[in-house]
Structure 1
């Protein structure tokens, strides 16, 4: 498709949809023309040889126009009031939650917003709320209707009311979209099961095992315990269907341009609900190819880049988050590369730093964490991290082996230690977690458990040890402090602010007992949460400390994610530190991951020729005079400092 064809396609679309390009639709049309060549190029990379190339390109443009026409004046105004990098602000802090387990339903959520605002949270990630089968929902990630809220949570109208209330209170909304697959109860699947060739081509469907077996040779298993293999025999249509995650989740076939256009329509439907951040689930899996792992392929990035260009045209105020929990180097690719640098996903999860914090907590050493920072520093300006200590998912240990070797450990033995430590099997471990998705072939496994239980609070309470309770609380706050000040939008997981322990009731639930991640997905007991305001309770101590950290963060513009972080060379094996530099400010963030006091030479603060004389610790609200190189700053067990240069 050449430039003349683009012009003709746009002209036809304008005529057919009665766009007022000199008036009400001028801004939209300008953006459409500005991005049209990039949209054409990316679309061509994916679909140049497809017989329906031109037809679906026209449909793509029509979807963009339709989305613009359906976007309310309120949301268009919000788009243009946001600056391009609004999401880099130090004033945004998030929480991820399950609506039904947090507030019962969407109607009950507005009454809980002031609790969150009091904590300092102004961005809410509502875990999947769109229609999915009750017993085969994968926590809502098996969607049977992308545009209908599941009745368990309420209605689409309820969601719109929540969004309006949140925006009126100065809050931001984040929702998920599952691009990789649908539920086997989706309308498209139902039609495919009846043999409709149009919808069979929406998925990977095969008459026999010849091609599936070729895929299987190089595709890893995602859930080897509960869902071995990547294909399922479907009796209704007599086909082998690709089901990478679970047998009831059919993988969408993005080599078909009609699938892309259909899912783009869903993306823009969410944009028009007023979503500020759209979390794209499992983007690493979007493109499948025999002879590869079918993860992180170049075409998956092209799909995301095309989505970003389309969103920029119709909903420029909506940021995209790619949920790619992959190796450190691979995560970087989701921000875009080459001509698309910082033009793919606006956000990615800093899963590497999250896992390395847990590594440091278990070992008391920060060598592996430091080894990862040169890669993580490559994140391009204009993009940001979601930083976190816990989320709804398990904790993976997917950082690179060479990082472990640099610290002097054997990678296999080191990961075994971490698994044993956090599952409470290692002698002396205070952690109460569990192993998730153990692969019997490789012994790979991930870790489940709440922040508080993994930090030792559960065992400390059982043993009635005040000293251990104190240490566990200090660990919780240490972990959150690192996450909050590192750079990016901090994302708490609901319940962590009130020190929730593991919930073992999932064991008695037939549709959940196979998945121990439900132990860290609690049902909120609001009587317990009332204890967050009762001085001296564990809930209050954790809540108040979390609130103070967020208050400090919002007062310091230097913490905005402006690519202004420098890690300080390690002067103590137990202590990690970095400095955030602003126009007139510098903030040293220092963390001791040891259960013993650590001594840090004041020479640390003279790194790179900079020589401060006086520092103010925002956490302790006291000043420190910088000593000589022979003197030390003494950090207590699991202590941290947030030291601003004042002289």
Structure 2
């Protein structure tokens, strides 16, 4: 599989055979020095290929500094994570970042060092071992698309090193740049417009999809693949068990295209997976592909490679559509996303979530290809989440580059569902129900549902401080607050909103663990009727869930889907579900076969 993928990308080069032989030697060397404890995990997981889907963990995502200060500090949070039921910890970028602006760590200056203020490589290995001992998988970011402009590769290229100049894309004519820009999208239209940055030392314009200080790597050069494969294996040998492949859709560039989701991207991912399967087969790959739902199938592999690219991918369409449903009290966009969701190869799964460190990016709902009424619904949802008369939400919208629409929305879950700012205050019934509704959907749908740091404490938007950039510059800082120790203490003594949200997620996690073993391997069937506010979902004959995206009680006419004997699993009530159920405002029920 490795040879097939790489020969399709680089096989026409006369030096391919020699290059490929050197790559195999490097892979074998990494396998030979893999620690014995990790080799034992590799064997165990190879013997049980369905280990992830058989007992899918609850995930948790956090920035190291905001969550616990340092990597050593993260170890002190393990008891809290276990109390919440977490079995998968994603720590956002912790490798040494660019000096100054660095996209909150995503502009990596060294793949071989931890950011000094967070610790060092020994701290990383110690944390990974401590997490493994507690049954928690460590997920780290592998920033694939780019490096910082002060990374040694970029520095060498700027100094004239021919080999490393080939690691980057450089256009030498402004007309070329303008021609490319006509086909390309803008990731950060307000804060970093355009896709190229003029660098005099490089003699032209460097391709910089994200920020001017993040230089895109040239994967058409096989040396780039070999270098990133070496990074992957080194970090895997240090104890990272899951890699979030940041910005995966942008890896391959071809003039005259949007340079997103090109077929070669899948080949690169299949090759990276094959590298791991040879040297560290217990390690998983997760695609960060924030793309329209139909485009996501390729990230798991297709054809003969189905199930041999990434193990997991974010279901960002489900997330965005759930916020639109909450704002509009209408599940039409949710139903569309479920209908468009591709079936997955065995052993693969969706990562479902409510919020994360990034925007709610509305383009994943395909506004450019959708009907006018769907585009209007998305625009209305974005306005609602920005607050104003009649809204319970307190978020911030980001405009598109052309100013004609909304690119994304920002805000913490608590602020977007209307939980109180004062942690000592109890949340009102409807706000807490909205919070529960969104997390219940994510927990029920995803192979790995993800809790974003602070959500378990009902923590709201960051108010801003001298330590963070102004929110007007980058609205994503709204959902990047420091972990609130006061809220954690209140949760631990059972007081205020933090106690409510923490206990609610604990109960949801307990209910999820009682779902049938085959639940996450079974495709979702949308059994919803004519009521636009109700979403009724089934997974085979063994599990069923109803979600009321309305501020009014709704009678569930379940019809065929409720035939037979069912017992409620969430909320934990004593009586079996009848053929017709009245869901409270923003209410939901999970059932399993009696």
Shorter-chain TM band = over 0.9
- Please say if residues 503 and 519 of structure 1, whose CA atoms lie closer than 8 Å, have aligned partners that are also in contact: yes
Structure 2 partner of 1:595: 551
1:443 and 2:405 equivalent?
yes
1:622 and 2:574 equivalent?
yes
Which of 42, 54, 65 is equivalent to 1:100?
Answer: 65
Structure 1 partner of 2:22: 59
How far 1:615 sits from its partner (Å)?
Answer: 2.5
Q: Unaligned 5+ residue runs, structure 2? A: none
Q: CA RMSD in A?
A: 2.1
- Please say if residues 485 and 559 of structure 1, whose CA atoms lie closer than 8 Å, have aligned partners that are also in contact: no
- Specify the SS of the correspondent of 1:419: helix
1:190 and 2:155 equivalent?
yes
In the alignment of these two chains, the number of paired residues is 591
- Please say if residues 382 and 406 of structure 2, whose CA atoms lie closer than 8 Å, have aligned partners that are also in contact: no
Structure 1 partner of 2:433: 474
Which of 505, 513, 535 is equivalent to 2:494?
Answer: 535
Give, in whole Å, the separation in 1 of the partners of 2:157 and 2:577: 71
- Please say if residues 290 and 314 of structure 2, whose CA atoms lie closer than 8 Å, have aligned partners that are also in contact: yes
The change in CA–CA distance for 1:190 and 1:402 in structure 2 (over 3 A counts) is closer
- Specify the SS of the correspondent of 1:146: coil
1:549 and 2:508 equivalent?
yes
- Please say if residues 90 and 556 of structure 1, whose CA atoms lie closer than 8 Å, have aligned partners that are also in contact: no
1:605 and 2:561 equivalent?
yes
Which of 210, 229, 236 is equivalent to 1:245?
Answer: 210
TM-score w.r.t. the length of structure 2 is 0.95
Q: Deviations over 1:61-99 (max 9, x none)?
A: 112111101201110101111221222134511100001
Which of 24, 36, 56 is equivalent to 1:73?
Answer: 36
- Please say if residues 203 and 252 of structure 1, whose CA atoms lie closer than 8 Å, have aligned partners that are also in contact: yes
Structure 2 partner of 1:644: 592
Q: Deviations over 1:348-402 (max 9, x none)?
A: 1010111111111011111221122222142333210111001111001121359
- Please say if residues 506 and 519 of structure 1, whose CA atoms lie closer than 8 Å, have aligned partners that are also in contact: no
Structure 1 partner of 2:475: 516
Q: Unaligned 5+ residue runs, structure 1? A: 1-37
- Specify the SS of the correspondent of 1:386: strand
The change in CA–CA distance for 1:241 and 1:129 in structure 2 (over 3 A counts) is same
Structure 2 partner of 1:220: 185
Structure 2 partner of 1:400: 366
Structure 2 partner of 1:332: 297
How far 1:458 sits from its partner (Å)?
Answer: 4.5
Give, in whole Å, the separation in 1 of the partners of 2:251 and 2:31: 26
Structure 1 partner of 2:254: 289
- Specify the SS of the correspondent of 2:590: strand
1:577 and 2:559 equivalent?
no
How far 1:54 sits from its partner (Å)?
Answer: 2.5
Give, in whole Å, the separation in 2 of the partners of 1:211 and 1:267: 33
Larger mean CA deviation between 392-401 and 107-116 belongs to: 392-401
How far 1:516 sits from its partner (Å)?
Answer: 1.5
Give, in whole Å, the separation in 1 of the partners of 2:182 and 2:530: 46
- Please say if residues 130 and 149 of structure 1, whose CA atoms lie closer than 8 Å, have aligned partners that are also in contact: yes
1:261 and 2:226 equivalent?
yes
The change in CA–CA distance for 1:511 and 1:359 in structure 2 (over 3 A counts) is closer
1:418 and 2:381 equivalent?
yes
Structure 1 partner of 2:307: 342
Q: Deviations over 1:130-176 (max 9, x none)?
A: 01124221011100101211102100000111001011111111001
Larger mean CA deviation between 559-568 and 289-298 belongs to: 559-568
Q: Deviations over 1:495-543 (max 9, x none)?
A: 0000001112158744875111111111012122111123351110110
The change in CA–CA distance for 1:353 and 1:507 in structure 2 (over 3 A counts) is farther
Give, in whole Å, the separation in 2 of the partners of 1:559 and 1:456: 35
Larger mean CA deviation between 92-101 and 414-423 belongs to: 414-423
- Please say if residues 335 and 346 of structure 1, whose CA atoms lie closer than 8 Å, have aligned partners that are also in contact: yes
Larger mean CA deviation between 295-304 and 375-384 belongs to: 375-384
Which of 488, 496, 501 is equivalent to 2:460?
Answer: 501
